Amino acid sequence: MRITSALIDPALLELPWSIPLEEWPADHLVALPQGISRHIVRFVKLNDVVYALKETRERIAEKEYDLLRALERIDFPSVEAIATVTDRFDVNGEPLETILVTRHLQFSLPYRALFSHVLRPNTLNRLLDAMVALFVRMHLTGFFWGDCSLSNTLFRRDAGSFAAYLVDAETGNLYPKLSEGQRSEDIEIMRVNVFGECLDLQAAELLHESIDPEQVVDDIVSRYERLWHEVTYEQEIAQRDTRHDLEGRIRRLNELGFDVAEVAMSTVDGGIRVRPKVVDAGYHTRRLLRLTGLDAEENQARQLLNDLDTYRAESALTDEQQAAHRWLTEVFEPVVRAVPQGMRRKLEPQEIFTQIIQHKWLLSEKAGRDVGMAPAVQSYLTDVLAKKPDEQAVLGVEVSELPAEV
């Protein structure tokens, strides 16, 4: 037996590798929901960690292991590859197939398991949105899946959000960039697979009668096309409306579940051509802290960085660190200093600034133009912040009087 692993758990060595996976004794296994698979798949729990084991051919296992490791390096939402176990032989010396070991994604379920229960329309919509977001991120990354289905896509609810994860990559390939033909083929494979599984569930009377398989796949494809267009199209805007229109584009992407890492801008006759680069959530807190030293929650950091990137684009600054320093001293700090001393205990500075950004956006939408930061700050202080209670008034006691454990 030979184990190839980047992060080996010594307990893996104690598993009965000389037995075909299908015949493993029950005391080594844990029962978890799983989709249909062309391979034998089992779950084991070792030292409070659950692993998924899939028996397949050596070449396929090694390819999938390498692909999952590559996806992990670029922070793509997929399961984590742990090891491949090759050169297996049974007690009679007969060769056994290779086993791919992945870490089970905690609190996750295959989409197939979710479709096998009653789903409210709103829940179904959010599940489809999560799957579409995964598909778009995958194609932006240059990954061709080639086998998207309800069984090999995992769903996890995390802190109120919905997220989809890739669990099976044996048919995939990672390219620098996908062609339109590759994208179209991947979408068609997904359509056929999801439609087939929905029909399978329907025949077994496991699919809710309100769910139409054909409508589901058509809905997924149309959502994908809308999201792909919004994420990738180059937008031409008039130079006088650059800031307001750029903020609108970024805001729409945020609402679709994508965060903007940077904006590519080029001049054209009479205006500016804009193309944003999207990234997954979780990026912004680290980036904001690195650039400005501000420690903020993820949503706060996202809005602060969006404002910083807009400022950088308008100022034509190529150096990111220089732009961050100037934004901090010329935009963020003046806004915070504009808050009267008596109002500063109402909210923390980062939250005040993000609320001012939102307030400015609403004023600009109403006016049909960019109203500017100074009027927005004054309006927010007078009409919004002045009416908010102090945080310590909400608590009812002074902070210094709170017990240490609180």
Rounded Cα–Cα distance for residues 144 and 187 (Å): 10
Question: Is there a contact between 173 and 147 (Cβ–Cβ < 8 Å)?
Answer: no
Residue 332 burial (C-beta neighbours within 10 Å; 0-12, 13-18, 19+): buried
For the whole prediction, is pTM greater than 0.75?
A: no
Residue 270, CA distances (Å) to 16, 204, 273, 369 in order:
70, 60, 10, 18
* Beta pairing partners, 4: 84
Rounded Cα–Cα distance for residues 252 and 234 (Å): 14
Residue range 169-227, pLDDT digits in tens = 999 999 999 999 999 999 999 999 999 999 998 888 888 778 889 999 999 999 899 88
Q: Which two tokens stand for residue 343?
A: 């109002």
Question: Is there a contact between 78 and 167 (Cβ–Cβ < 8 Å)?
Answer: yes
- pLDDT tens-place values along the chain, 406 residues long: 888 887 767 888 889 999 999 999 988 888 877 778 888 999 998 888 889 999 999 999 999 999 999 998 887 888 999 999 999 999 999 999 999 999 988 767 888 877 776 566 666 777 888 888 889 889 988 999 998 988 888 877 543 345 788 989 999 999 999 999 999 999 999 999 999 999 998 888 888 778 889 999 999 999 899 888 877 777 776 666 667 777 777 777 766 656 565 566 666 666 666 666 654 445 566 678 888 888 776 667 878 888 898 888 888 777 888 889 999 999 999 998 998 887 877 777 888 888 898 899 899 998 888 888 889 999 999 888 887 765 444 334 343 444 444 3
Cα torsion through 348, 351, 352, 353, rounded to 10: 120
Question: Is there a contact between 331 and 292 (Cβ–Cβ < 8 Å)?
Answer: no
Measured over the CA atoms of residue 309, residue 313, residue 318 and residue 319, the dihedral's sign is negative
Among 174, 167, 129, 172, smallest CA distance to 150 is for 167
Q: What is the pLDDT of residue 384?
A: 86
Instruction: Give the residue extent of every domain in the chain.
Output: 2-103, 108-231, 233-395
**Residue 270 CB neighbours (<10 A):** 8
Distant-in-sequence, close-in-space partners of 253: CB < 8 Å, separation ≥ 6 = 230, 231, 259, 260, 276, 278
Share of the chain above pLDDT 90, in %: 29
Measured over the CA atoms of residue 249, residue 254, residue 257 and residue 260, the dihedral's sign is positive
Fold entry, domain 2-103: Phosphorylase Kinase; domain 1 (3.30.200)
**Residue 160 CB neighbours (<10 A):** 5
Question: Is there a contact between 102 and 66 (Cβ–Cβ < 8 Å)?
Answer: no
Question: Is there a contact between 166 and 76 (Cβ–Cβ < 8 Å)?
Answer: yes
The DSSP output letter for 327 is H
Residue range 102-138, pLDDT digits in tens = 998 876 788 887 777 656 666 677 788 888 888 988 9
Among 310, 183, 322, 301, smallest CA distance to 249 is for 310
Rounded Cα–Cα distance for residues 330 and 359 (Å): 19
Domains 2-103 and 108-231 belong to one CATH topology: no
**Residue 25 CB neighbours (<10 A):** 8
Fold entry, domain 108-231: Transferase(Phosphotransferase); domain 1 (1.10.510)
